Amino acid sequence: MSIKKVLITGNEAIAEGAVQAGCTFYAGYPITPQNELTAYMSRRLPEAGGTFIQSESELAAINMVFGASAAGARAMTSSSSPGMSLKQEGISYIAGAELPAVIVNIMRGGPGLGNIWPAQSDYFQATRSGGHGDYHSIVLAPSSVQEAYEMMFLAFDLADKYRTPAIILGDGMLGQMMEPLLVRSKESGGGREKLQTKPWALTGCRGRRANIIKSFYMVEGDLEKFNLTLQKKYKAIQQEEARYESLFLDDARIILVAYGTMARIARAAVNNLRKKGKKAGLIRPITLWPFPQKAFTRHLRPNIRYLVVEMSYGQMLEDVKLAVNGKAKVEFLGRAGGGVPTEKEIIKSLSRL
C-alpha cells in the first residue's frame, strides 16, 4: 500500500478517510463550518462508485442514511451543531433499529444559530443520547487532521461491529485547518476488504425469511426486553472500546483534561509547565462515550488536582467528576461562543490552584 503526503483540511481528510473506509453512501445538507466535507464527497464518492445526495434537509439526510444502512451500506452524514439538533430524531431511530451509521459533527457556537466559530458545546448532546430514549452513540473526538482521517476507519468498524451510530465530534477549528496528512493511495481500497457481511440487511428475501428493520415494539414487555439487550450492548462497548491518550501521569500533580483541538492547546501548556519543572500531565479522552474512566481511576492519588479545559461552560467536566467520584479536586476552565481558552489562560488558571 503506497502512502503519500498531502496538505488538506480536516473536513476533507474526514471525507477521504470515509471513502477509503468503504463508505458507499453520503447524504448531507450545507452548513458552515463543515461544507468542505460535503463538497469533497460530491466529487470523490461517485468517483469511488458510491452515492452522494445533497438532501433537502438534515432530517432527510439522516433518514436517507437510515435507509442506505438498512440496505447494507456503510453510510454517513455530516453537519454542524444546529444541523445536528435536527438529526437527533433520525439518530434515535438508527440506535433503536440497531443500524450502523457514522455521523460527523463539526461543532460551532450555540445555542440557536450561534455563530460559525469553533466550540465544544454539543458534548452533552453527543454523549447523552441527544434524541429520545435510552440509547448511546459511540463518540470519537479527533485532535488532528491525521487522527480525524484514521478515525473514519475506526468509526465505521465500530458502527458495524455494534450496529450502532458512531459520532465523530470535531470542531470548526479541526474542520477548517490544513495540516499535512499521510494518506493511503486512492487505489488501495482502504478498509473495504474487511467489510463484515450483514445478514440482517434488506436485500430482498431470496432464499431466506423476510428481514424487518424496526424500532417499534407494541406487545407489552417487548420494548423493555429490547432495551435490556441494548443496555447489554452498551456495557460491552464501555468495557471494550474506551480510548484515551495520556502524558506524564506517573508523577503528575496537576492533570489537564481536554479533548479534540482543545487538547492540543492543553498539551502545549503541559509541555511549557514541564520545562519550568512543574509536574503537569494530560488526559485526552479519544472516546467521549464510552468515557475512559480508567484513565482517572488508575492514577487516583489524593494529592492530584484536575483541570478540565473545554470550549464550553463545563460539559465533559461532569464526566470527569463522575470518574473521579470526589476523590480528588476537579477545577474547570472554559470559554464558548467563539472563545478558545489559550495556553496563557490555562497556565494562569493553574497558578491559582
Partner 1 sequence: MEKIFKHPKSLRNIATHYCAGCGHGTVHRIIAEVVDELGIRERVIGVAPVGCAVIAYDYWDFDCSEAAHGRALAVATGIKRERPQNIVFTYQGDGDLAAIGTSETIHAANRGENVTVIFINNAVYGMTGGQMAPTTLLGQKTTTTPLGREIKSHGWPLRISEMLALLPAVKYIERVSLHSPQETIKTKQAIKTAFQNQIDNIGFSLVEVLSSCPTYWDMPPKKALDWIKNEMIKEFPLGRIK
Q: Which residues contribute to the site for partner 1 (CB under 8 A)? A: 24-25, 27, 51, 53, 55-57, 59-61, 63-73, 75, 89-90, 93, 97, 202-207, 210-216, 218
Which CB, 201 or 268, lies closer to partner 1? 201
Determine how β-strand 244-247 pairs with β-strand 280-285: antiparallel
Which CB, 75 or 145, lies closer to partner 1? 75
CA distance 23 to 85: 23
Q: Which residue has the cell 452533552?
A: 124
CA distance 115 to 2: 40
Does residue 292 have a cis peptide bond before it, meaning omega lies within 30 degrees of 0?
no
Which CB, 46 or 189, lies closer to partner 1? 46
Rounded to the nearest whole angstrom, what is the least distance from the CB of residue 63 to partner 1 in the complex? Answer: 4
Which CB, 55 or 127, lies closer to partner 1? 55
CA distance 91 to 122: 15
Phi-psi region of 260 (alpha: psi -120 to 50; beta: other; left: phi over 0): left
Rounded to the nearest whole angstrom, what is the least distance from the CB of residue 190 to partner 1 in the complex? Answer: 19
Asked if 28 and 54 touch (Cβ cutoff 8 Å), the reply is yes
Closest C-alpha among 119, 126, 86 to residue 102: 126
Q: Report the amino acid identity of residue 188.
A: S
CA 105 to chain centre: 7
Rounded to the nearest whole angstrom, what is the least distance from the CB of residue 55 to partner 1 in the complex? Answer: 7
Which CB, 25 or 306, lies closer to partner 1? 25
Which CB, 18 or 107, lies closer to partner 1? 18
| Three-state secondary structure string covering 169-184 | EEEHHHHHCEEEEEEE
Q: Could you tell me which residues come within 8 angstroms of residue 73 by beta carbon, excluding any fewer than 6 positions away?
A: 23, 24, 25
Q: Report the amino acid identity of residue 68.
A: A
Asked if 170 and 106 touch (Cβ cutoff 8 Å), the reply is yes
Which CB, 42 or 238, lies closer to partner 1? 42
Rounded to the nearest whole angstrom, what is the least distance from the CB of residue 195 to partner 1 in the complex? Answer: 14
Residue 288 DSSP code: E
CA distance 231 to 308: 29
Asked if 20 and 184 touch (Cβ cutoff 8 Å), the reply is yes
Rounded to the nearest whole angstrom, what is the least distance from the CB of residue 41 to partner 1 in the complex? Answer: 14
Rounded to the nearest whole angstrom, what is the least distance from the CB of residue 73 to partner 1 in the complex? Answer: 4
Rounded to the nearest whole angstrom, what is the least distance from the CB of residue 92 to partner 1 in the complex? Answer: 9
Which cell goes with 43?
Answer: 466529487
Q: Which residue has the cell 445538507?
A: 29
Which CB, 83 or 292, lies closer to partner 1? 83
Rounded to the nearest whole angstrom, what is the least distance from the CB of residue 163 to partner 1 in the complex? Answer: 14
Which CB, 6 or 223, lies closer to partner 1? 223
Rounded to the nearest whole angstrom, what is the least distance from the CB of residue 121 to partner 1 in the complex? Answer: 26
